[in-house]
Amino acid sequence: MNISINGEQIDTSAETLTTLLEQNGYADATIATAVNSTFVSQGERENYLLKEGDQIEILAPMQGG
């Protein structure tokens, strides 16, 4: 299926948001996720089913002062 991650189109076989994150190197990362502009918490990712055309945003926390 074709989806977008941070504006980049990709083709994936992942069915859930967790699987998608694992396949793209975010398995152990501390991140925030949104699908189609809706926040998806870490606890919801495993059961969140992806659909053709979904737009996923992956955000890492910023540090600094």
If pLDDT is split at 50, 70 and 90, which confidence band does 65 have? low
If pLDDT is split at 50, 70 and 90, which confidence band does 8 have? very high
Buried-state track 47-59, b at ≥16 Cβ within 10 A, e below 16: ebebeeebebbbe
Residue 52 in 3-state DSSP?
Answer: coil
Give pLDDT tens digits for 49-64. 999 999 999 998 877 6
User: What integer is the mean pLDDT of 25-41?
Assistant: 95
State the Cα–Cα distance between residues 22 and 5, nearest whole angstrom: 13
Domains of the chain, first to last: 2-59 (3.10.20.30)
